[in-house]
């Protein structure tokens, strides 16, 4: 029984560490995504409103209202949509980061 109890504590500690690492990763997505949202060329913030980024663009949709999920954002960045052209200068990692950031910042599914 003692051996099992020790494993339980080890498992609990591992789960707590994984949760902390997940929180740190989510914080990184928010910080790096916010930076990319405001500095990409051209910056997403020029056209879109997104409260978390302090963006007040009026050309594209207000992302806080639209609440697009990550898949929708990624598709729009890669293919363009409406007046928005595809962003071919972004790396795959940057596209995924922006998609996760926008989804999280708006409260949509990441």
CATH number at residue 60: 1.10.760.10
Look up the domain containing 56 and give its range. 26-106
In a domain, 46, yes or no: yes
pLDDT in tens, 77-101: 999 999 999 999 999 999 999 999 9
Answer whether residue 6 is part of any domain.
no
Burial 85-110 (b: 16+ CB within 10 A, else e): eebeebeeebbbbbbbbbbbbbebee
Q: Specify the pLDDT at position 36.
A: 96
Report the domain count for the chain.
Answer: 1
| Domain presence at residue 2 | no
Q: Is residue 1 part of a domain?
A: no
DSSP E strands: which ranges in 1-102? Answer: 49-50, 55-56
- Comparing 22 with 50, the larger pLDDT belongs to 50
**Does the residue 101 lie in any domain?**
yes
- Is there a domain that residue 92 lies in? yes
Domain annotation covers residue 9: no
Q: Which residues pair with 9 in a beta bridge?
A: none
Instruction: Tell me the pTM.
Output: 0.77
Does 110 score more than 80 pLDDT? no
Q: Is residue 58 part of a domain?
A: yes
Q: For residue 61, is pLDDT > 70?
A: yes
């Amino acid at each position: 029984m003692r051996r099992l109890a020790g494993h339980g504590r080890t498992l609990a500690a591992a789960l707590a560490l994984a949760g902390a690492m997940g929180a740190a990763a989510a914080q990184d997505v928010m910080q790096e995504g916010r930076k990319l949202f405001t500095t990409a060329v051209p910056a997403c913030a020029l056209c879109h409103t997104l409260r978390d980024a302090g963006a007040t663009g009026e050309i594209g949709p207000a992302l806080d209202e639209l609440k697009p999920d990550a898949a929708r954002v990624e598709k729009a960045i890669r293919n363009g949509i409406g007046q928005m052209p595809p962003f071919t200068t972004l790396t795959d990692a940057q596209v995924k980061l922006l998609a996760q950031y926008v989804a999280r910042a708006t409260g949509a599914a990441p």
